[in-house]
């Protein structure tokens, strides 16, 4: 649903939140949008390759997923590794 074509149609600085499925967002297009400023912020509770990395401690290991590591390098990206279901409420941001 979110790909290079749909990102082009968005307002500059848009915030993207994905709590559904990782496959809803073309991650490489998301990264391109973050790099060029079209996407101002991203909150991801899901990632398309999450089964390989979420729910385990990799603090002393090398993560070989370059796309995930690139996402983690952005200061305006928050990845919560499929933990959103632990929350008791919902935060809605309207700009």
**What tens digit of pLDDT does each residue of 25-83 get?**
999 999 999 999 999 999 988 776 655 656 666 677 777 778 888 988 999 998 887 66
Q: What is the pLDDT at residue 5? A: 95
pLDDT value at residue 1: 87
Provide the CATH topology of domain 4-86.
Rossmann fold (3.40.50)
Is pLDDT above 70 for 87? no
Per-residue pLDDT at 53: 59
Asked if 17 contacts 43 with a C-beta cutoff of 8 angstroms, the reply is: yes
Active site residues: 21, 50
């Amino acid at each position: 649903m979110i790909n290079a074509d749909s990102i082009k149609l968005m307002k500059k600085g848009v915030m993207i939140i994905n709590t559904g499925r990782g496959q809803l967002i073309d991650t490489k297009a998301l990264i391109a949008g973050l790099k060029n400023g079209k996407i101002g912020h991203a909150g991801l509770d899901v990632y398309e390759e999450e089964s390989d990395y979420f729910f385990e401690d990799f603090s002393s290991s090398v993560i070989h997923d370059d796309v995930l590591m690139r996402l983690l390098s952005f200061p305006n990206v928050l990845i919560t590794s499929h933990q959103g279901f632990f929350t008791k409420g919902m935060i809605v941001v309207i700009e």
